[in-house]
Structure 1
Amino acid sequence: MAEERIPSRYVKLTKDQAPLEDIKPGELNQPIQVPQLACRKCNECGQPLPESFEPPADEPWTTGIFGCAENTESCWTGLFCPCVLFGRNVKRLREDTPWTTPCICHAIFVEGGIALAAATAAFHGIDPRTSFLLCEGLLFSWWMCGIYTGLFRQSLQKKYHLKNSPCDPCMVHCCMHWCALCQEHREMQGRLSDNVAMPMTIVNPPPVQEMNAAGDNQDSAPSSANGIEQTNLEMQAL
Structure 2
Amino acid sequence: MAEGGNASRYVKLTKDQAPREDIKPGELNQPIDVPQLTGRKCNECGQPLPESFEPPADEPWTTGIFGCAEDKDSCWRGLFCPCVLFGQNVERLRDDDTPWSTPCVCHAIFVEGGIAVAAATAAFHGIDPRTSFLICEGLLFSWWMCGIYTGLVRQSLQKKYHLKNSPCDPCMVHCCLHWCALCQEHREMKSRLSDNVAMQMTIVNPPPVQEMSAAADNRESGPSSANGVNQTNLEMQAL
Q: Which has the higher contact order (CA 8 A, sep 6+)?
A: 1
Task: Mark the runs of 5 or more structure 2 residues left unpaired by the alignment.
Answer: 220-231
For the residues of structure 2 that align with 1:190 and 1:19, how far apart are their CA atoms?
A: 77
Q: TM-score, normalization: structure 2?
A: 0.79
Judged with a 3 Å threshold, the aligned counterparts in structure 2 of structure 1 residues 37 and 201 are, in CA distance, closer, same or farther, namely farther
| 1:63 partner letter | T
Match of 1:103 in 2: 104
Judged with a 3 Å threshold, the aligned counterparts in structure 2 of structure 1 residues 89 and 14 are, in CA distance, closer, same or farther, namely farther
Match of 1:94 in 2: 94
Match of 1:123 in 2: 124
| 2:110 partner letter | F
For the residues of structure 1 that align with 2:75 and 2:174, how far apart are their CA atoms?
A: 16
For the residues of structure 2 that align with 1:102 and 1:16, how far apart are their CA atoms?
A: 81
Match of 1:235 in 2: none
Q: Secondary structure at the match of 2:204?
A: strand
Percent of residue pairs bearing the same amino acid type: 85
| 2:101 partner letter | T
For the residues of structure 2 that align with 1:101 and 1:191, how far apart are their CA atoms?
A: 24
Using the TM superposition, give the Cα deviation of residue 181 of structure 1 relative to its aligned residue in structure 2, in angstroms.
Answer: 0.3
| 1:138 partner letter | L
Match of 1:75 in 2: 75
Using the TM superposition, give the Cα deviation of residue 103 of structure 1 relative to its aligned residue in structure 2, in angstroms.
Answer: 1.8
Using the TM superposition, give the Cα deviation of residue 200 of structure 1 relative to its aligned residue in structure 2, in angstroms.
Answer: 2.6
Aligned residue runs from structure 1 range 149-188, under 5 A: 149-188=150-189
Contact between 2:151 and 2:171, CA under 8 Å: does it hold in 1? Answer: yes
Q: Secondary structure at the match of 1:64?
A: coil
Using the TM superposition, give the Cα deviation of residue 219 of structure 1 relative to its aligned residue in structure 2, in angstroms.
Answer: 7.4
For the residues of structure 2 that align with 1:206 and 1:10, how far apart are their CA atoms?
A: 85
Is 1:21 the equivalent of 2:50?
A: no
Judged with a 3 Å threshold, the aligned counterparts in structure 2 of structure 1 residues 155 and 67 are, in CA distance, closer, same or farther, namely same
Q: Give the length in aligned residue pairs.
A: 220
| 1:124 partner letter | H
| 1:182 partner letter | C
For the residues of structure 2 that align with 1:31 and 1:188, how far apart are their CA atoms?
A: 47
| 2:67 partner letter | G
* 1:81-102 C-alpha deviation (Å, 9 max, x unpaired): 2112112111211122332332
For the residues of structure 1 that align with 2:203 and 2:129, how far apart are their CA atoms?
A: 73
Judged with a 3 Å threshold, the aligned counterparts in structure 2 of structure 1 residues 206 and 29 are, in CA distance, closer, same or farther, namely farther
Match of 1:51 in 2: 51
Judged with a 3 Å threshold, the aligned counterparts in structure 2 of structure 1 residues 24 and 198 are, in CA distance, closer, same or farther, namely farther
